[in-house]
């Protein structure tokens, strides 16, 4: 059996033109649009587009760090977010 070795190891997974985090916003906006209806279907296009524009202004891993800053997830082996300076 042959396995294809990826060209770029750091390239994120993509489904169609969405990266995984963009796909999450796309699917969540579809769920909200089905629940609310009406003009909320416009969010199916605008929410992923806006998140992609926002994501391009920040370094890779920005979303995970925002969730950590808000206290929604815990990162192991990292200092607390409020520490400005530390010695390795």
pTM, to two decimals = 0.58
Question: For residue 39, what are its two tokens?
Answer: 């003009």
User: Residues 37-75: pLDDT tens digits?
Assistant: 888 889 888 888 888 888 888 887 777 778 888 888 887
In eight-state DSSP terms, residue 36 is H
Q: 34 falls in which pLDDT band (50, 70, 90)?
A: very high
Beta bridge partners of 15: 18
For position 57, what pLDDT does the model report? 86
Question: For residue 45, what are its two tokens?
Answer: 């296009």
Distance CA 13, CA 19 (A): 6
Q: 10 falls in which pLDDT band (50, 70, 90)?
A: low
On whether the CB atoms of residues 14 and 23 are closer than 8 A, the answer is no
The residue-averaged pLDDT of 4-29 equals: 76
From the number of C-beta atoms within 10 Å of its C-beta (0-12, 13-18, 19+), residue 32 rates as middle
How many Å from the N-terminal Cα to the C-terminal Cα in the chain? Answer: 44
For position 1, what pLDDT does the model report? 65
């Amino acid at each position: 059996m042959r396995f294809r070795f990826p060209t770029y190891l750091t390239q994120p997974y993509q489904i169609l033109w969405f990266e995984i985090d963009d796909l999450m916003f796309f699917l969540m906006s579809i769920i909200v649009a089905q629940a609310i209806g009406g003009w909320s279907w416009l969010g199916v296009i605008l929410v992923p587009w806006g998140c992609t524009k926002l994501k391009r202004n920040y370094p890779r891993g920005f979303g995970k760090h925002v969730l950590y800053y808000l206290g929604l997830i815990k990162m192991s082996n990292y200092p607390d977010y409020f520490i400005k300076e530390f010695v390795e």
